[in-house]
């Protein structure tokens, strides 16, 4: 009852005040003022008279988060600590322990220690579960416990962690951490360069230019730009990266909003480095935002062959707005459009389904657009590659395994039970895959398909209509068939699962630096990119 009351009463107030200083406020002054007055009196009466003791701060926090959850996942409220974290993410450096850390309710999990940084030097490994930071128990800490690990350079922090069931302690000396937007670049062969872009922070275009310059000095005449898994970042850096490969004064992206001042066009402003080098761009379902601006623009301008899987489809632009007491709000202000006019937003957060989930644009509702040379491209669901690869798409069962963190957990167990000394000779065997399947069983892995959900809903309707006796036998048979499919599905996706397992395991022994070296030698998408670039006529056929 308490949560329902909070949501019903407090949300309308915030839904109106979010536009307090904007156009909506000016045009609906009376209605906004009226709702503010209603909320003020309600909030006062609630806190004074409610039967149980209330906490005004908690009520307000719940109201804000509940209201924003009804909009889109990118419009967020940031307290003072969150504001600092966002600044660090965009700047590309921070002071801390030098590790990617996952915050859970009762522990902090080391996902990846960065090579030669503080956590690594203190001996922490991926999979370690921190349960105590100095004298603070993580389970008892109300806010984001990850903030406990941050502090000034040169200061130390004591952590208690669990590794393979044993409790251990470590002292970590905090230091400045430089997070590279381009964590790796190298030559794939004698004339093909490879650049990885991990995020779009303030250093992205500068690091990309530096990498390209170095690769060309090494003999690169062709280039593969890897945007897989890149969640995006700064819009201006997406424009600057695109500018490396296209001329000055070229339209890259347009933003459109209901607020006129946010309607903007972004053109390249610098002289390019190379407008002729053959270019392949790799994307996948985790390539989002700024990654889609770059891949979408290069595709629309017929400047690159895009391969992989359809991108995430985040066609929304956010801007931070300062609030009182050092807090901020990141609010979605507009949608962005590629040079051909495409909006590639995949999910409609305003028109939700009966379960409250954002609806996805159906393929039959996609609109066709033309690239600079007249090729047909579509909106409605992320950037569609010029060459879609089944190997890049994740199957439903693989997604379920990832969502339960079982790839990560198995890699942790593998690391402590196996010795790998040579990256070049590393390869998982059939026995390893069998062990992984046993690991899934031991961890009670199961997943429900969308088909199962639909069948269950249909059975519920049949029961209401008293038809369940007539359909029960067929229903049982269908479920049996689905269970049989799930047993086979793991084997049918063996290559996909082994690839993901290999990537995670390689990272345990040889860090991220070793992972990229492993990619260059073994990754299917990179090899496909090399194949396309090797034949000029084949490359050009994708762009005509």
Determine the Cα angle at 41 with ends 38 and 45, to 5°.
135
The two three-digit tokens of residue 36, written as one number: 């503010």
The DSSP letter of residue 233 is B
The strand pairing partners of 484, in sequence order, are none
H helix intervals, 465-493: 468-492
Of 249, 230, 227, 231, nearest in space to 239 by CA:
249
Tokens in use for 185?
A: 């670049």
Helix (H) or strand (E) holding 327: none
Check: CB of residue 243 under 8 Å from CB of residue 205.
yes
- List of residues 6+ apart from 415 with CB closer than 8 A: 125, 126, 127, 505, 508, 509
Question: What does the alpha-carbon distance between residue 264 and residue 419 come to, in Å, rounded to a whole number?
Answer: 55
DSSP H helices, 271-385, are: 290-300
Q: How far is CA 243 from CA 81, 250, 338, 382, in A?
A: 34, 8, 14, 21
Please answer whether residues 361 and 348 qualify as being in contact, where contact means their C-beta atoms are separated by less than 8 angstroms.
yes
Beta carbons of 255 and 334 less than 8 angstroms apart? yes
- Calpha distance 459→471 (Å, rounded): 8
Q: Could you tell me which of 12, 74, 73 has the C-alpha nearest to residue 40?
A: 12
Determine the Cα angle at 522 with ends 517 and 524, to 5°: 125
Beta bridge partners of 321: 329
Q: Which residues are catalytic?
A: 289, 300, 314
Closest by CA position to 296, among listed 285, 281, 309: 281
């Amino acid at each position: 009852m308490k949560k329902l009351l909070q949501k019903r009463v407090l949300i309308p107030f915030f839904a109106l005040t979010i536009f307090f200083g904007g156009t909506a406020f000016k045009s609906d002054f009376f209605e906004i003022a009226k709702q503010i007055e209603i909320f003020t009196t309600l909030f006062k009466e609630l806190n004074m008279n409610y039967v149980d003791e209330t906490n005004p701060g908690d009520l307000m926090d719940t109201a804000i988060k509940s209201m924003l959850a009804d909009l889109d996942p990118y419009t967020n409220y940031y307290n003072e600590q969150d504001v600092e974290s966002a600044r660090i993410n965009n700047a590309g450096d921070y002071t801390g322990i030098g590790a990617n850390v996952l915050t859970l309710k009762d522990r902090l999990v080391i996902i990846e220690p960065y090579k030669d940084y503080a956590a690594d030097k203190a001996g922490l490994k991926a999979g370690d579960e921190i349960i105590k930071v100095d004298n603070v128990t993580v389970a008892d800490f109300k806010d984001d416990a990850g903030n406990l690990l941050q502090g000034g350079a040169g200061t130390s922090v004591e952590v208690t962690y669990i590794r393979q069931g044993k409790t251990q302690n470590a002292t970590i000396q905090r230091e400045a951490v430089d997070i590279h937007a381009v964590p790796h670049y190298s030559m794939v062969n004698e004339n093909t360069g490879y650049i990885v872009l991990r995020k779009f922070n303030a250093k992205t275009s500068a690091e990309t230019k530096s990498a390209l310059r170095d690769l060309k000095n090494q003999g690169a005449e062709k280039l593969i730009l890897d945007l897989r898994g890149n969640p995006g970042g700064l819009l201006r850096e997406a424009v600057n990266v695109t500018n490396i490969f296209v001329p000055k004064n070229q339209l890259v992206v347009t933003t459109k909003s209901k607020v006129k001042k946010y309607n903007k066009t972004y053109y390249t402003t610098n002289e390019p480095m190379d407008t002729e080098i053959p270019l392949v761009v790799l994307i996948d379902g985790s390539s989002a935002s700024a990654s889609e601006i770059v891949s979408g623009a290069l595709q629309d301008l017929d400047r690159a062959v895009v391969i992989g899987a359809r991108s995430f489809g985040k066609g929304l632009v956010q801007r931070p707005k300062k609030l009182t007491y050092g807090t901020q709000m990141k609010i979605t202000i507009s949608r962005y459009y590629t040079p051909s006019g495409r909006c590639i937003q995949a999910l409609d957060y305003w028109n939700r389904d009966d379960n409250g989930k954002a609806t996805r644009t159906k393929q039959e509702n996609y609109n066709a657009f033309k690239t600079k040379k007249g090729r047909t491209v579509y909106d409605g669901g992320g950037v569609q590659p010029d060459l879609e690869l089944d190997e890049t798409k994740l199957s439903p069962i693989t997604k379920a395994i990832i969502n339960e963190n079982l790839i990560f957990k198995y890699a942790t167990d593998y690391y402590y039970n196996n010795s790998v000394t040579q990256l070049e000779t590393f390869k998982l065997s059939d026995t390893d895959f069998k062990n992984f399947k046993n690991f899934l069983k031991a961890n009670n892995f199961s997943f429900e398909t969308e088909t199962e959900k639909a069948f269950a809903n249909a059975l519920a309707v049949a029961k209401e209509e008293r038809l369940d006796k007539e359909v029960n036998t067929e229903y049982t048979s269908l479920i049996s068939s689905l269970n049989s499919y799930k047993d086979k599905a793991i084997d049918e996706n063996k290559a996909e699962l082994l690839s993901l397992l290999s990537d995670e395991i390689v990272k345990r022994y040889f860090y991220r630096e070793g992972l990229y070296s492993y990619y260059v030698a073994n990754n299917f998408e990179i090899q496909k990119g090399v194949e396309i670039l090797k034949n000029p006529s084949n490359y050009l056929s994708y762009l005509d």
